[in-house]
Structures are given as C-alpha cells and as structure tokens.
Amino acid sequence: MDWQLFGLSFITVFLAEIGDKSQLAAIALGGSTKYPRAVFFGSIIALILTSFLGVIVGGSVAQILPTRLLKAIASLGFAFMALRILWQEE
C-alpha cells in the first residue's frame, strides 16, 4: 500500500468534509434522536459508499479518457463552480 497516497487521500477528504452539508445534517440528526450511534454509523457507511463509488467510477473513466483530458475537465468544472459561487445572487 502506498502510505503517502493513503495519507493524502485521508487529509483531502477530511478537510473537504469539515463543515459541509452532510456534517450539518449529522449534527442535526444526532442531536434530535436517542440513538446517536445509529446516526454515526449511518454517516460513516454513506461516506464510505460514496467514496468507493467515486474511486470505482474515476478509475473506470481514467481507463477510457487520457489523464490530461480528465484534468482539463475537472479544472473547468471547479472553475465553473467558483464563478457560479462568486456571482450567485442572495
């Protein structure tokens, strides 16, 4: 196992998940139920499943499309989201 890649993946996902909507939903559910462990395990399983699907789909797409094209598509997607957030009307 590539421990450097493992650590980078962990840190990236951990930092990306802090303060997002799923964490706020888990806080709300955990605070409004008598079974916070069920909320914890449900949240963990959901994150694992979505990460697994992302890796599987990403690996499959990477075999079809060249890496340079994937990076270009990802950068355009992130730029589009950033511009949309900047010009979002409240």
- Mean pLDDT for 18-24 is 80
Going by pLDDT thresholds of 50, 70 and 90, the confidence category of residue 49 is very high
Q: Is 49 helix (H, G, I), strand (E, B) or coil?
A: helix
Neighbours of 47 (CB within 10 A): 15
Q: Is 90 helix (H, G, I), strand (E, B) or coil?
A: coil
Mean pLDDT, rounded, of the chain: 89
Going by pLDDT thresholds of 50, 70 and 90, the confidence category of residue 53 is very high
Domain spans of the chain, in order of start: 3-65
Query: Over the stretch 66-89, which tens digit does the pLDDT of each residue have?
Result: 989 989 999 999 999 999 989 887
- Considering the entire predicted model, what is its pTM? 0.63
**Interacting residues of 22 by C-beta distance below 8 A, sequence separation 6+:** 43, 46, 47
Per-residue confidence (pLDDT) for residue 20, from 0 to 100: 78
